[in-house]
Amino acid sequence: MKIAILDIGSNSVRLMLWADGKTLYKKVQTTRLGEGIANTGMLLPAAIERTALAVQELAEEGRSAGAAVYAFATAAVRASRNGSAFVERVKELCGVEVDVVPGQEEALLGLYGALGQEDGGIIDIGGASTEICIREGGKIAFSVSLDIGAVRLYDRCGDQASLLEETIRGALSPLTHTTAGKMYAIGGTGSTLASLLLGLDTYDARMIQDFKMMRTALDQLSDKLLSMTAEERKNLKGMDVRRADIIAGGALLLVNILKKMSLLEVYASDRDNLEGYLQIRGLA
C-alpha cells in the first residue's frame, strides 16, 4: 500500500511518498502560509490560496502514484484566527481533509520520526513555532511547543541581531538544562544549517542524517549569516535559496536553545514529523 503524507507548515508544504516500509521520496514547495501572522494573527488571503494550490498539486501527485493521501497542518493554521478558512479551501480544491495537530502532538510527531522508540530528543524549528521533546526511559520527560519560529522571527525582527536576541530570550523561559541523550535538530532549519556546514552542492539526505553540529560551529555560522544580506546568503554552498531570508534568525534561535539547555552539540536528521505522522496515526 502506498501512502502520501502532506505536511502543511508555516513556511512550506512537503510531500512524502511511502510504501513497503520505506520512504520513496520527499518533495517540497515553499509557500509561506505563515507570512504576516506574527503581526496580524491572521493568514493572508494570498498565502491561503497559494498554499492550498500547492496542497492540491502535491495531493494529485500522490493520487497519481496510487497512494492514499493524508494531510496535517501545524502552527500557522493552528494559531491563526482564520485557520478554518484554509482548511475549507483545501477541501474545496481537492477534497483533502486537513488534520490540524496540537502543538504538543506536533512535538511527538518529530520525536517518533527522528528517533522511533529510542530515547533522546528533538528540536524542531518551524516557521511559526518550535517544538522540543525529550524521551527518557521510554517515557516523555519533557515536551513543549514555543510560539516562535523562523518566519515569525523574520516578520518581527528582520535581521536585526539585537532585536532577534531579545525576542528569542523572551520565548525560551520554559527551557532548562537537560541531560537527555542524543538530541536531533529536525525540519528545514536544522537540515539547511547542516547542509551549510557540510558545504553541499546539492541536498543529500544520507549526508544530513546523523551529522553532528557543534554549538561553537553553529554560533560562528549564525554570526556569519547575520552579517550577510539574503541575496549574499543565496550564494553560499549548501544554502536552500528559499530559506535565505529566514535562516539567520533560525540559526540564532537554535544556538540559543542549545545554550539554554546546556547542549554542546546537536545532530541533524532528515527523518522528521512526516515519518512520525505515519507512526502516530498507525498508518505505517
Q: Where are the domains of the chain?
A: 2-100, 104-268
Residue 38 predicted with pLDDT over 90: no
pLDDT at 18 over 90: yes
Residue at 94: amino acid letter:
C
Query: CATH fold of 104-268, please?
Result: Nucleotidyltransferase; domain 5 (3.30.420)
pLDDT surpassing 90 at residue 284: no
Q: What is the pLDDT of residue 119?
A: 96
Q: How many residues are given for the chain?
A: 284
- pLDDT tens digit string along 168-203? 999 999 999 888 889 999 999 999 999 999 999 999
Task: Give rounded-to-5 percent helix, strand, coil for the chain.
Answer: 45, 25, 30
Whether 2-100 and 104-268 share one fold: the answer is yes
Measure the CA–CA gap between 166 and 50, rounded to whole angstroms. Answer: 32
What's the half-sphere exposure (Cβ side, CA atoms, 13 Å) at 272? Answer: 30
Give the full edge-to-edge strand order of the sheet including 12-19. 22-30, 12-19, 2-8, 68-73, 98-100
Q: What is the pLDDT of residues 233-282, one digit of tens each?
A: 999 999 999 999 999 999 999 999 999 999 999 999 999 999 999 999 99
Q: What is the pTM of this model?
A: 0.92
Q: Within 10 Å of residue 74's Cβ, how many Cβ atoms?
A: 29
> Which residue carries 539574503 as its cell?
230
The residues near 121 (Cβ < 8 Å, ≥ 6 apart) are: 111, 115, 132, 133, 134, 135, 142, 178, 180, 181, 182, 183, 184
Q: pLDDT, tens digit, for every residue of 126-149?
A: 999 999 999 999 999 999 999 999
pLDDT above 90 (res 120): yes
Q: What is the pLDDT of residue 39?
A: 86
What is residue 2's predicted lDDT score, i.e. its pLDDT?
A: 96
- Residue 224 banded pLDDT, cuts 50, 70, 90: very high
Q: Judge whether 23 and 275 are in contact, CB under 8 Å.
A: yes
Domain 2-100 sits in which CATH superfamily? ATPase, nucleotide binding domain (3.30.420.40)
What is the residue-averaged pLDDT of the chain? 96
pLDDT digits (tens, 9 = 90+) for 51-61: 999 999 999 99
pLDDT at 215: 98
Q: What is the pLDDT of residue 49?
A: 98
First-last CA distance in the chain:
10
Give all strands (DSSP E) within the chain, no chain letters.
2-8, 12-19, 22-30, 68-73, 98-100, 120-125, 130-136, 139-146, 183-186, 212-214, 265-268
Mean pLDDT of 40-58: 97
Per-residue pLDDT, averaged over 215-235, amounts to 98
What is the percent of the chain with per-residue pLDDT over 90, rounded to a whole number?
Answer: 94
Name the DSSP letter for residue 36. T
